[in-house]
């Protein structure tokens, strides 16, 4: 084995690598995804956010190998999903947006069938099946048929099926849809555990609060294109800043001063300044100007837009 390959395998910096990926459908050449590039790293939860029809499911389907890209490269563990589809997709755990399974079987039966694709021995298969059912909280449902599962149980079973081979990479497409708050909390904890194990996870969801809690980065897409990739350190400082200050006095003269920086809004003893002028140190400038004018300031802070509002602004859902 070449030394370069050994070093790359040991480092395992990037497990899913999408470069200049596009997907075009039909004779009318409808472009669902255009020139998209991003990476999912080792031990990372990458959030995938976009409005309906943005191209999230198309992208995930192409990474999994269910659909092939029209252009560009998709590598999984360094393997091309087109040229080496079987090997590349083997190390992927995929939960589709609307998973469907044979309804007249029990979970152990179906998972046993799935495990056959990975050449488990009979004893290995049974051990792994019980492990994953326990991990998703379905170990007490082994005698039930899937048709009798609740919506939340079906989602957990889909997660179990994705985990059966202990893959390094997870593609989770709207997996949280239909789950109650307890189910969402359960999945969040499981994803954090997988992250600690060094897995790479691409999580598509409309529940932005979940991404804010657990994602390392969020890829926002709209109209088949990436609008922005937001790192975790920027989650709390999105969009135009809002400056909040508590002066000793709020009068018309102070308001006039603050209007030179943006739009002041009085809220009790505080003033919030929205639509502030672009400046890296605007809070410091406001504080200095107010003090020079003879006021004292006991509190000043800078807040950003909420992730939800920023997302809606970024995708044009709100002005």
C-alpha–C-alpha distance, residues 292 and 296, integer Å: 9
Residue 11 has pLDDT above 60, yes or no: no
The per-residue pLDDT for range 140-154, each reduced to its tens digit, is 999 999 999 998 899
Please give the helix or strand (H or E) that residue 112 lies within, else none.
helix 107-115
C-alpha–C-alpha distance, residues 236 and 239, integer Å: 9
Q: How many CA atoms lie within 13 A of 217 on its CB side?
A: 18
Asked if 8 and 78 count as a contact pair (C-beta separation under 8 A), the reply is: yes
pTM: 0.81
C-alpha–C-alpha distance, residues 207 and 176, integer Å: 8
Asked if 76 and 19 count as a contact pair (C-beta separation under 8 A), the reply is: no
Quote the mean pLDDT of the chain.
Answer: 90
CB-neighbour burial class of residue 90 (10 A; exposed 0-12, middle 13-18, buried 19+): middle
The full set of domains in the chain, from first to last, is 3-234 (3.40.50.300), 238-314 (3.30.70.100)
Of the pLDDT bands very low, low, confident and very high (cuts 50, 70, 90), residue 31 is very high
Can you give the pLDDT at residue 302? 83
Taking CA 71 as the corner, what is the angle to CA 66 and CA 75, rounded to the nearest 5 degrees? 60
The per-residue pLDDT for range 182-229, each reduced to its tens digit, is 889 999 999 999 999 999 999 999 899 999 999 999 999 999 999 999
Of the pLDDT bands very low, low, confident and very high (cuts 50, 70, 90), residue 239 is confident
Please give the helix or strand (H or E) that residue 184 lies within, else none.
helix 181-196
């Amino acid at each position: 084995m070449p030394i370069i390959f050994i070093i790359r395998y040991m480092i395992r910096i990037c497990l899913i690598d999408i470069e200049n990926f596009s997907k075009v459908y039909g004779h009318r050449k409808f472009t669902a995804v255009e020139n998209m590039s991003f990476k999912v790293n080792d031990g990372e939860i990458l959030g995938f956010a976009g409005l309906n029809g943005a191209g999230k499911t198309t992208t995930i389907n192409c990474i999994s190998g269910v659909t092939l890209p029209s252009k560009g490269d998709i590598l999984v563990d360094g393997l091309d999903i087109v040229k080496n589809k079987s090997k590349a997709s083997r190390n992927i755990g995929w939960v589709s947006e609307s998973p469907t399974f044979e309804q007249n079987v029990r979970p152990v039966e179906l998972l046993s069938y799935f495990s056959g694709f990975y050449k488990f021995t009979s004893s290995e298969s049974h051990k792994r099946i019980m492990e994953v059912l326990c991990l998703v909280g379905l170990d007490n449902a082994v005698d039930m048929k899937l048709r009798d599962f609740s919506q939340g149980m079906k989602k957990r079973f889909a997660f179990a099926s994705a985990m059966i081979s202990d893959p390094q990479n997870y593609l989770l497409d709207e997996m949280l849809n239909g789950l109650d708050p307890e189910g969402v909390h359960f999945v969040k904890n499981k994803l954090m555990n997988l992250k600690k194990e060094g897995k790479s996870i691409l999580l598509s969801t409309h529940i932005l609060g979940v991404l804010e809690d657990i994602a390392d980065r969020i890829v926002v897409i709209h109209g088949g294109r990436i609008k922005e990739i937001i790192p975790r350190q920027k989650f709390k400082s999105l969009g135009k800043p809002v400056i909040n200050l508590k002066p000793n006095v709020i009068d018309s003269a102070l308001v006039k001063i603050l209007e030179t920086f943006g739009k002041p809004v009085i809220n009790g003893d505080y003033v919030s300044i929205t639509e502030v002028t672009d400046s890296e140190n605007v809070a410091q400038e406001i504080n200095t100007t107010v003090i020079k004018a003879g006021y004292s300031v006991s509190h000043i802070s800078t807040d950003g837009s909420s992730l939800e509002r920023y997302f809606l602004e970024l995708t044009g859902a709100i002005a």
